[in-house]
Amino acid sequence: MGSSFKSSVLREAAERGFIYQSTDIEQLDARLAQSPITLYMGSDATAESLHIGHLVPIMLLRLFQKHGHRPLALVGGGTSKIGDPSWRNTARPMLSEEALQKNTEGIRLSYRPYIRFGDKNNDGKIMNNAAWLDKLAYIPFVRDVGRHFPMGRLLSLDSVKQKLNNNLPFSFLEFNYPILQAYDFLELAQQENCILQIGGSDQWGNIVSGVEFVRRVTQTEVFALTTPLLTTADGSKMGKTGQGAVWLRADFCAPFDFWQYWRNVDDRDVSKFLRLFTELPLEEIAALETTEDINEAKIILADRTTALTHGEEALQAVHHAVHAFFHGGEVIDSHHVPTFVIDADTWLGMKTIIDLFIEGRLAQTRGEARRLVRGGGAYLNDVSVSDETLVLQEKHFSKGKAKIAAGKKRLIYVQLR
RNA sequence: GGAGGGGUGGUCGAGUGGUUAAUGGCAGCAGACUGUAAAUCUGCCGGCGAGAGUCUACGUAGGUUCGAAUCCUACCCCCUCCA
């Protein structure tokens, strides 16, 4: 049925594997085929960058723009003051106004490589729901908005049920999250004539609440479209590594590490990822699927995603770095390569290899760094270090640089100052 | 309100006075093999410490004891049944 869509955007989205669920796909398709629309995706503002886990809906948003539709990126500056109920545990620090400001700006930057923002035609626009949520007055809100939310409907939301069933802390505060998220849709529908919300399938409940709410209030048809929630072939959550999330902003995840993430994906995920995360024509992807050299396909995947996110220049730098790291090439200077700086006076003759691994964040604790050395996985300039008390000397640095690694793949340069 | 069951390390889950920093599974890290993949095998897997060792941990707070995750008391939270 994927190919039976009338609109070009849904046809391509379906072929590439972006579509999971929709409220009314036929009508949406008809509407899309008819004329350009405005759509949005939302994200919370709990971090200074988005990460690979957000990338599927982002790529879909991009696809819509490519097909002439107008994308809005909504940042949850207001809703993040409450917190998504899918969070666990009691201790959730309320974000300060200042932190939210910073996060909002960071998320704006995260979107930039994927969405063209501006004032013309179908240029995208960044919105922040704090703009309207901060101004809400309780009584009018409950009266005008609250009455459109049947209690049974709210209680049936998965995010709510899950909280209640698992006895996780859940107060009226968090309970309001889906309502406010639904309200966002109304604001965007009225302000921006937005008629579609996209998001990950874990957001289905929240998105549908918004759709129902907007229909009720405005008596017009709006739509929901979700993307499949990606898990990698080994069943774990997409985009997580031992180091944490793979961030989209270069200052949170070096392009080198970003590239490595894609270079190292499971064989079984390659063709799926090529469809979703690159813009290679489907025939080319099909050709890559039949190649006997799957590593070639992985490199193309890594190259295309890195170039899209960080630019061609960064990709070139990554190639140099990869060559240096894995094939003993020349060490080069670049902010695209993970590097950290230490002070010669305070380090040489003073601190140990253990300190260095901590400083380079290849180990979280000194114990972990020690175990790494004892297990033979700690490398200094490509040589496995066996002495955990090894004190750093000038001889360990050539031209002021050293290379340390945890295992064969987690590497970082140390620059002496 | 009453009766019973339960809260253990990232997670699941053993353990009911003393070689218990706490069996085991999962997750994670490293080594071997390989293709910077998967699978498999091996080692590691609370903090600090070169080591001896030391500190912190079994819902919270006290207590008993030479010694407690294990016993007692109070409190908090959860589950099941009754009202």
Residues 129-148 of A with CB under 7 A from strand B: none
Q: Kindly report which amino acid residue has its CA closest to the C1' atom of nucleotide B27.
A: A236
CA distance A196 to A224: 6
Q: Is any atom of nucleic acid chain B found less than 7 Å from the CB of residue A406?
A: yes
Q: Are strands A401-406 and A410-416 parallel, antiparallel or unpaired?
A: antiparallel
Residue A202's pLDDT is 83
Residues 237-256 of A with CB under 7 A from strand B: 241-242
Q: Which two tokens stand for residue A189?
A: 């529908």
Q: Is any atom of nucleic acid chain B found less than 7 Å from the CB of residue A377?
A: yes
Amino acid at A209: S
Cα R_g (chain A), whole angstroms: 24
Residue A91's pLDDT is 38
CA distance A199 to A231: 16
For residue A375, give the nucleotide whose C1' atom is nearest its CA: B30
Q: Is any atom of nucleic acid chain B found less than 7 Å from the CB of residue A410?
A: yes
10-residue mean pLDDT series, chain A (417 residues) = 81 95 95 96 89 93 97 90 51 67 92 95 94 93 90 76 60 79 95 96 89 94 92 68 80 90 91 95 93 91 96 92 77 70 93 94 93 94 91 90 90 89
Beta-carbon contacts of residue A157 (< 8 Å; ≥ 6 apart): A178, A205, A206, A209
For residue A164, give the nucleotide whose C1' atom is nearest its CA: B78
Query: Cα torsion for A54, A269, A227, A285, to the nearest 10°?
Result: 110
CB < 8 Å & 24+ apart, contacts of A371-374: A372/A406
Q: Provide, in whole angstroms, the distance separating residue A231's CA from nucleotide B25's C1'.
A: 22
Residue A44's pLDDT is 85
Residues 187-226 of A with CB under 7 A from strand B: none
Model's pTM, two decimal places? 0.88
Amino acid at A183: Y
Q: Provide, in whole angstroms, the distance separating residue A186's CA from nucleotide B27's C1'.
A: 41
CA distance A375 to A357: 14
Q: Is any atom of nucleic acid chain B found less than 7 Å from the CB of residue A26?
A: no
Element (H, E) at A39: strand A38-44
For residue A235, give the nucleotide whose C1' atom is nearest its CA: B27
CA distance A160 to A180: 14
CA distance A19 to A35: 20
The interface predicted TM-score of the complex, written ipTM, equals 0.86
Q: Is any atom of nucleic acid chain B found less than 7 Å from the CB of residue A376?
A: yes
CA distance A314 to A336: 6
Residue A90's pLDDT is 37
Residue A92's pLDDT is 46
Q: Is any atom of nucleic acid chain B found less than 7 Å from the CB of residue A162?
A: no
CA distance A30 to A198: 17
Taking alpha carbons only, the member of A384, A255, A274, A270 closest to residue A322 is A255
Q: Is any atom of nucleic acid chain B found less than 7 Å from the CB of residue A320?
A: no
Taking alpha carbons only, the member of A212, A225, A215, A83 closest to residue A150 is A212
Q: Provide, in whole angstroms, the distance separating residue A16's CA from nucleotide B2's C1'.
A: 60
Q: Provide, in whole angstroms, the distance separating residue A167's CA from nucleotide B71's C1'.
A: 30
The residue assigned the tokens 């270090």 is A385
DSSP-derived secondary structure for A268-337: GGHHHHHHHH----HHHHHHHHH-S-HHHHHHHHHHHHHHHHH-HHHHHHHHHHHHHHHH-------TTS
Q: Which nucleotides of B are covered by protein (CB under 7 A)?
A: 27-32, 34-39, 43-51, 77-79
Residue ranges and CATH numbers for the domains of chain A are 2-227 (3.40.50.620), 254-327 (1.10.240.10), 339-416 (3.10.290.10)
Q: Kindly report which amino acid residue has its CA closest to the C1' atom of nucleotide B28.
A: A242
